[in-house]
Amino acid sequence: MEIGISIALILASGLMILLVLLHKGKGGGLSDMFGGGFSSNFGGSSVVERNLDRLTIITGTVWFVCIIALGLLLKS
């Protein structure tokens, strides 16, 4: 059980890092390198940005649940 949660935590952590780097920054950066600048031409928040926000929130929630579950398993 601990191994499965640890693997899920590692995967969620890697995905979280990737998703945060893909977000549109104020002054460019890695997000422009992977197409973040393309969606800014259409103004406002596009469908891609909203879906990226949702995916980041879901990944963060999974990461948080994995941390709590692993902490509870290791405590007992």
Q: H or E stretch including 65?
A: helix 47-75
Alpha carbon separation from 43 to 29, 31, 34 (Å, rounded): 18, 16, 18
pTM for this prediction: 0.72
Distance CA 7, CA 71 (A): 14
Is residue 19's pLDDT more than 70? yes
Residue 22 neighbours by CB distance under 10 Å: 19
**What are phi and psi for residue 28, nearest 5 degrees?**
80, -165
Secondary structure (3-state) at 24: coil
Is residue 31's pLDDT more than 80? no
pLDDT digits (tens, 9 = 90+) for 47-60: 888 999 999 999 99
Mean pLDDT of the chain: 83
Cα radius of gyration rounded to whole Å, the chain: 16
